[in-house]
């Protein structure tokens, strides 16, 4: 800063003082002075922001302007709320929305024709949806829950033996009836037994523990609960040919039950179709009648076609036989059609229990299929010690339609090239008969039985050993009566001819 800096507006004294100060400063810090820049606004030289010129800042005529802080703007006071004003506004809005919704759904006066059609179709669709939802809720939730509660109540009455011996109801109990049936007999005198079939796995898939009734026909308990009320689930019941008495032992007892979508009644039986592991976990069951208790071993699980023609039909609902050979032949045919091979022997003097229900078409490929579980009464109790030996039957005879529905080659049995499941084993001849009849023949000595299960009259051609093919479980539509009679021919052949008579149950 060797160049003199003079300000024209200073007087002489001030000039001298300024000169002295500049000399002193130049001796302490000799730094060249920057070139002065004239401020175009104030017409004054502008000094750089160096340390040697900072002392000049107090000499400036006008200090640099200070930044002004923005003034605070006062916020307006919130409006005073009037009590109930917001509620009334929301109420008005909701009311308008409801009115708009109703106007969009219900036919209104002045609506165009197209709008009337649209609203009517919408209302009908909504009504159908609500009705369907209500029915679904009733049949899949409410009714099954009611049936489960009733079944649990009946089980409590059956298994709770406290006071049964001394129990005296309003009814006169059959002579010889077991005491644990007394309370059930008070509810329904048609009580005939109690079936318990449960699997042994950790999470049992088979949980059948229900009363069984007998009323002399195969229709009543299709749609009637145990207490007599109307029910789609029905009740387990013995075949009409299986009266339960203390003095008579039936060769074959048949119990029918519905396959309910809710999983109730005989629905768990269809799980046996899935794989052999289910069969191994449920090899035994208990069937107690009014007069005695029985343990049974499963020996066959069979899928059948109720709509099969006479040539391909197998009658699994036989309850009487001409002799021991006829009975053993029947057992042989059952085993040939079993999905699994069971290590259980069946002798000519054994008693057989058959559990029959309908099947799902998606599962067995048969439109009107039946599933039958066959069991042999045994004197031993507990589980079968040879459960692990239950194996899949690799040569099983399935219904003929099972093959045709899947474009498969039918089993050789159907073209006569295999004797597996043959009708007779005592002779080489097979007797067949064509019967046209309108009169039903019944008789205990002939093993006759009548089912009201069909509505049309037709001609039946049956092979030896075949007979009635009416299983009432599955549908409850009008069906006709079919009667089976067993007869014998000459020693050259053992036959069981069937006389079929159709009558309208209505």
Does some domain include residue 273?
yes
141-145 mean pLDDT:
82
Reported as a pLDDT band with limits 50, 70 and 90, residue 413 is very high
Burial of 154 (0-12, 13-18, 19+ CB in 10 A): buried
402-430 mean pLDDT:
70
Per mean pLDDT, which range of 7-11, 272-276, 443-447 is the poorest? 443-447
Domain interval for residue 251: 139-420
| Proportion of the chain above pLDDT 90, given as a percent | 42
Q: What does DSSP say about strands 369-378 and 293-305: parallel, antiparallel, or unpaired?
A: antiparallel
Whole-number Å distance between alpha carbons of 96 and 487: 83
Q: Is the pLDDT of residue 20 over 60?
A: yes
pLDDT of residue 429: 31
Q: Dump pLDDT digits (tens) for 431-469.
A: 332 223 323 333 332 233 333 333 333 333 333 333 444
98-126 mean pLDDT:
84
Coil/strand/helix, residue 405: helix
* Dihedral pair phi/psi, residue 392, rounded to 5°: -70, 135
pLDDT of residue 183: 92
Report the CATH number at residue 282.
Answer: 2.40.260.10
- Cα angle: 294, vertex 296, 301; to 5 degrees: 145
423-432 mean pLDDT:
35
Reported as a pLDDT band with limits 50, 70 and 90, residue 481 is very low
Does some domain include residue 233?
yes
pLDDT of residue 237: 97
Q: Dump pLDDT digits (tens) for 39-72.
A: 544 455 554 444 444 444 444 455 555 555 555 5
Does some domain include residue 333?
yes
Reported as a pLDDT band with limits 50, 70 and 90, residue 325 is very high
* Dihedral pair phi/psi, residue 284, rounded to 5°: -135, 160
Burial of 84 (0-12, 13-18, 19+ CB in 10 A): exposed
118-140 mean pLDDT:
86
Does some domain include residue 216?
yes
User: Which one is predicted more confidently, 145 or 428?
Assistant: 145
Q: How many CB atoms are located within 10 Å of the residue 353 CB?
A: 22
Q: Is the pLDDT of residue 496 over 80?
A: no
Number of separate domains in the chain: 1
The per-residue pLDDT of the chain, averaged, comes to 74
From the list 210, 187, 214, the residue with the least C-alpha distance to 197 is 210
pLDDT of residue 78: 56
Does some domain include residue 214?
yes
Reported as a pLDDT band with limits 50, 70 and 90, residue 483 is very low
Q: Is the pLDDT of residue 4 over 60?
A: no
Per mean pLDDT, which range of 118-122, 144-148, 387-391, 439-443 is the poorest? 439-443
Coil/strand/helix, residue 210: strand
Does some domain include residue 119?
no
pLDDT of residue 440: 31
Does some domain include residue 148?
yes
- Cα angle: 144, vertex 148, 150; to 5 degrees: 115
Whole-number Å distance between alpha carbons of 242 and 254: 7
pLDDT of residue 114: 87
Does some domain include residue 272?
yes
248-270 mean pLDDT:
93
């Amino acid at each position: 800063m060797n160049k003199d800096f003079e300000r024209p507006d200073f007087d002489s004294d001030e000039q001298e003082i300024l000169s002295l100060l500049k000399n002193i400063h130049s001796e302490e810090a000799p730094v060249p002075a920057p070139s002065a820049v004239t401020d175009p606004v104030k017409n004054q030289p502008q000094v750089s922001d160096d340390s040697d010129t900072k002392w000049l800042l107090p000499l400036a005529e006008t200090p640099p302007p200070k930044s002004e802080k923005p003034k605070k703007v006062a916020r307006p006071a919130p409006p005073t709320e009037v009590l109930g004003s917001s509620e009334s506004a929301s109420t008005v809005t909701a009311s308008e929305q409801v009115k708009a919704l109703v106007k969009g759904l219900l036919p209104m006066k002045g609506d165009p024709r197209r709008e009337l059609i649209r609203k009517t179709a919408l209302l009908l669709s909504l009504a159908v949806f609500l009705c369907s939802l209500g029915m679904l809720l009733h049949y899949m939730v409410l009714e099954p829950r009611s049936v489960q509660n009733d079944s649990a109540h009946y089980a409590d009455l059956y298994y709770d033996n406290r006071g049964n011996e001394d129990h005296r109801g309003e009814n006169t109990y059959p002579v010889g009836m077991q005491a644990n049936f007394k309370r059930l007999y008070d509810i329904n005198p048609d009580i005939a037994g109690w079936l318990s079939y449960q699997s042994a796995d950790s999470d049992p898939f088979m949980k059948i523990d229900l009363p069984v009734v007998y009323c002399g026909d195969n229709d009543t308990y299709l749609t009637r609960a145990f207490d007599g009320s109307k029910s789609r689930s029905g009740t387990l019941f013995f075949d009409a040919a299986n009266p339960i008495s203390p003095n008579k032992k039936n060769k074959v007892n048949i119990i029918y039950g519905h396959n309910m979508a809710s999983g109730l009644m005989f629905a768990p039986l269809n799980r046996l179709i899935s794989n052999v592991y289910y069969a191994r976990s449920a090899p035994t069951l208990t069937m107690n009648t009014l007069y005695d208790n029985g343990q049974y071993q499963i020996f066959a699980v069979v899928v059948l076609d109720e709509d099969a023609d006479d040539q391909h039909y197998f009658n699994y609902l036989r309850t009487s036989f001409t002799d021991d050979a006829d009975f053993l032949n029947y057992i042989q045919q059952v085993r040939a059609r079993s999905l699994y091979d069971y290590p259980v022997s069946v002798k000519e003097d054994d008693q057989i229990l058959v559990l029959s229900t309908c099947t799902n078409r998606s599962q067995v490929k048969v439109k009107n299929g039946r599933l039958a579980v066959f069991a042999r009464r045994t004197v031993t109790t507990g589980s079968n010690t040879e459960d692990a030996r239950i194996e899949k039957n690799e040569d099983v005879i399935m219904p003929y339609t099972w093959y045709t529905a899947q474009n498969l080659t039918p089993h050789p049995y159907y073209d006569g090239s295999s004797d597996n499941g043959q009708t007779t084993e005592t002779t080489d001849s097979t007797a067949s008969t064509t019967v046209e009849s309108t009169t039903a023949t019944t008789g205990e000595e002939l093993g006759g039985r009548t089912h009201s299960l069909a509505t049309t009259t037709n001609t039946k051609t049956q092979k030896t050993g075949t007979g009635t093919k009416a299983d009432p479980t599955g549908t409850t539509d009008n069906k006709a009566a079919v009667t089976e009679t067993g007869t014998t021919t000459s020693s050259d052949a053992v036959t069981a001819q069937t006389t079929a008579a159709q009558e309208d149950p209505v």
